Amino acid sequence: MSINYVSQETLDQLKEELTQLRTVGRAEIARQIADAREKGDLKENAEYDAAKEAQGHHEARISVLETAIANARVIEAKDIDTSKVSILSKVKMLNMKTKKSVEYQLVSETEADLKAGKISVTSPIGKGLLGRAKGEIAEIQTPGGILHFKIEKISV
């Protein structure tokens, strides 16, 4: 069992999605299966097969959410030490090669979203930043090669 550190906001979002999937989502899937059954022979009914496959994906997502919620531990902003990079830290860093600054928040795998500037602590960059302090240069091995980042700011 791996602990999933999240903010209260993220935990609330996960619970809301789970409730939605268990109620409205399951009802919709059941309706689709019933509609497909009415169309005749199930052996040659592509609509029925698609509905059953969608049900499988739906139930798998429910299982993932249940596990994530069961293993969730809420971290409050006041509990985060900004002297070094940790989960839920926002890190502004300078790419030493391109001289461009980027800012990421380190989050759990379940809430990682690169477009929103959230990277997983288990990603190569996330792992390379953990425990680093402001001013340090992190040498990070990525699939594209070694990157060097200077940590400019750590915040919540």
pLDDT digits (tens, 9 = 90+) for 101-143: 999 999 888 788 899 999 999 899 999 999 999 999 999 998 8
Q: List, in sequence order, every residue forming a beta bridge with 148; answer none if it has no partner.
A: 139
Among 41, 74, 107, give the residue marking a domain's end.
74
Of 95, 93, 94, residue with least CA distance to 105: 93
Is pLDDT of 145 > 80? yes
The answer to whether residues 84 and 151 belong to one domain is: yes
For residue 142, the domain's CATH number is 3.10.50.30
Among 27, 57, 74, give the residue marking a domain's end.
74
- How many C-beta atoms lie closer than 10 Å to residue 106's C-beta? 24
Query: pTM here?
Result: 0.71
What is the domain extent for residue 86?
77-155
The answer to whether residues 13 and 43 belong to one domain is: yes
Among 14, 48, 74, give the residue marking a domain's end.
74
Is pLDDT of 1 > 70? no
